[in-house]
C-alpha cells in the first residue's frame, strides 16, 4: 500500500476515535453504562488500527 493510503487509514482511525470518545463521555454523564462499554471498545479498536497503520507507514517512509 502507498504512503497516502496509510495516511488516510491513520486519519480515519483518529476521527473515529475522537467521535467514539465523545459518545463515551456523553453516555457516562447520561449514566448509560452499556453505551460506555460499546464506545470504549470501538475507541480501543480504532487506536489499535491507527497504531498498526502508523507502524506500517513509518516502515515505508524510512526504508
Number of C-beta neighbours around residue 46 at 10 A: 20
Per-residue pLDDT, 43: 92
> Per-residue pLDDT averaged across 2-10, rounded?
90
Question: pTM above 0.85?
Answer: no
Give the span between the Cα atoms of 39 and 54, in whole angstroms. Answer: 22
Instruction: State which residues form the domain around 9.
Output: 3-61
Judge whether 57 and 38 are in contact, CB under 8 Å: no
Q: What is the biggest distance separating any 2 CA atoms in the chain, rounded to whole angstroms?
A: 48
Per-residue pLDDT, 3: 84
Q: How many domains does the chain have?
A: 1
Residue-wise pLDDT for 10-52, tens only, equals 999 999 999 999 999 999 998 888 899 999 999 999 999 999 9
pLDDT bracket for residue 1 (50, 70, 90): confident
Amino acid at each position: 500500500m502507498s504512503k497516502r493510503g496509510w495516511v488516510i487509514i491513520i486519519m480515519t482511525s483518529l476521527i473515529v476515535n475522537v467521535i467514539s470518545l465523545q459518545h463515551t463521555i456523553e453516555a457516562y454523564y447520561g449514566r448509560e453504562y452499556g453505551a460506555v462499554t460499546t464506545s470504549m471498545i470501538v475507541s480501543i479498536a480504532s487506536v489499535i488500527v491507527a497504531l498498526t497503520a502508523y507502524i506500517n507507514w513509518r516502515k515505508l517512509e524510512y526504508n
